[in-house]
Amino acid sequence: MIDFEYLRGGPMRRDRRDGRVADSLLALLSRDWIGVPVAVLVAGPGGGLAGAGAGWATALGALVMAFGVLLAVGAVRHLVLVARERRENPPPGRLVGVGGHRMHLLGEGEAGSGPTVVWMPGGHAPGEDFRELHTMLSAGTRSVLVDRFGSGWSDVGTFPRTTAGEAEELWAALEGARERAPFVLVGHSFGGLLVANAARRRPDLVAGLVLLDPTPLEVVAFAPRSRQLARIRRGFLLTAIRNLFGAHRGTGSRAGQGCAAASIFAELSPSGLAGVGWETVVYDGDLGDLPLVLVIPRDLIGGEAVLVGARDAAEAERISGFYLRSRIRYLSASTSSRLVHTPEGTGHDFPHEVPSFVVGVVGDLVRELRTSAP
């Protein structure tokens, strides 16, 4: 029999405590100015050692102090680059208040009698990642790009970053920007998971859903063990630290963007998913009869890495089948869903490979909804 009291008082509590500590550190590192006091804290003890008098202490202290000065120079460079970037690249859209922070939305085109299309790129990318798709579609309908907190021109926001929280923030931002419902939500990969969550929370505002190879959480929970997602999260964090101390070229890149991505990617692990599953997973029937178009590649193009480590051909075939079947799981979320395959030879990144195809699929749904609207 499961001892739930033990779980609440033992591993679960430790996981929550560790998570709070990690989120506090990420929130601290997300401040672009934090590199300066960190550099001072490093240089200070070095100066003390250098003045200690002993030969070895003087040498070590000088080395530590020089490292601190180098960090300080990099931190100041970072602040200068961030300020220059803000001055030279003002937000093209609107900054609206959401929970005490500013979120950036760019809306263009006219909806007419049809729905408004809202795009959500994959990963934790800014809306700008889908600018080409947005520009193509906005010629015929209202199209909106959203920078979730910690991306693009938006503020970093609060920690932890979660899919459930970002779904609520999306609705608050659209309301604050006075974008008109109903909406067609279009999301790719991790962005697909986000818009499916948003649709589940406010089906009254959604006319349809287009999921572009969305992240199936079964893959996170049950797939053969892989360190790929952990490496991606670690990469976000290391990039944030490098940026904080000026180790980037050209215009500044805010440290908060890497910290926000590292925070939300904590969900994408078996243990992380166990803690947020009920709020994050979109289950069978959750979307009722909402029109849903699932767009996926027919094959595992570019996905050969998942087969590495298979013991034999039979296991490789099973792994391949698991990933292919997991891709279609979102069809069961609605009784009004349909499957569309991408052009032959395209992989997971097909929104950038065949943008005209994606705009065509979204445009077809918009026209269908216009025709069927009362």
SS3 state at 174: helix
Give the bridge partners for 95, in sequence order. 104
Flag whether 84 is in a domain: no
Q: Between β-strands 94-98 and 116-120, what pairing exists: parallel, antiparallel or unpaired? A: unpaired
Locate tokens 């070229």: which residue? Answer: 249
Flag whether 150 is in a domain: yes
Q: Which of 322, 226, 272, 349 is nearest to 12 (CA)?
A: 272
Confidence of residue 60 (pLDDT cuts 50, 70, 90): confident
Residue 111 is predicted with a pLDDT of: 85
pTM for this predicted structure: 0.90
* pLDDT digit string, tens, across residues 179-232: 999 999 999 999 999 999 999 999 999 999 999 999 998 888 888 777 788 888
Q: Number of folded domains in the chain?
A: 1
* pLDDT digit string, tens, across residues 100-149: 999 999 999 998 889 999 999 999 999 999 999 999 999 999 999 999 99
Q: How far apart are CA 39 and CA 72, in angstroms?
A: 5
- Sign for the CA dihedral angle at 195, 196, 199, 200 comes to negative
Judged on CB neighbours under 10 Å (0-12, 13-18, 19+), 29 is: buried
Q: Which of 165, 190, 193, 160 is nearest to 283 (CA)?
A: 193
Flag whether 104 is in a domain: yes
Domain containing 169: what range? 94-227+263-372
Flag whether 42 is in a domain: no
Q: How far apart are CA 361 and CA 169, in angstroms?
A: 27
Residue 2 is predicted with a pLDDT of: 44
Q: How far apart are CA 366 and CA 184, in angstroms?
A: 8
Contacts 24+ apart (CB under 8 A), 348-356: 348/189, 348/213, 348/297, 348/301, 348/302, 348/303, 349/302, 350/212, 350/213, 350/295, 350/297, 351/121, 351/130, 351/133, 351/188, 351/212, 355/132, 355/133, 355/136, 356/136
**What integer best gives the mean pLDDT of the chain?**
88
Alpha helix segments (H runs only) across the chain: 4-9, 11-29, 35-50, 55-88, 131-137, 163-176, 190-201, 217-222, 228-244, 255-264, 270-280, 313-326, 350-353, 355-372
Q: How far apart are CA 220 and CA 222, in angstroms?
A: 6
Q: How far apart are CA 32 and CA 29, in angstroms?
A: 7
Flag whether 232 is in a domain: no
* pLDDT digit string, tens, across residues 315-342: 878 888 888 899 999 999 999 999 999 9
Flag whether 20 is in a domain: no
Q: Which of 328, 323, 322 is nearest to 292 (CA)?
A: 328
Domain containing 116 — which CATH number?
3.40.50.1820
| Tokens representing residue 362 in the block | 């979204």
| Tokens representing residue 63 in the block | 């080395």
Q: Which residue has the higher pLDDT, 61 or 261?
A: 261
Flag whether 278 is in a domain: yes
Flag whether 251 is in a domain: no
Q: Which of 172, 195, 374 is nearest to 292 (CA)?
A: 195
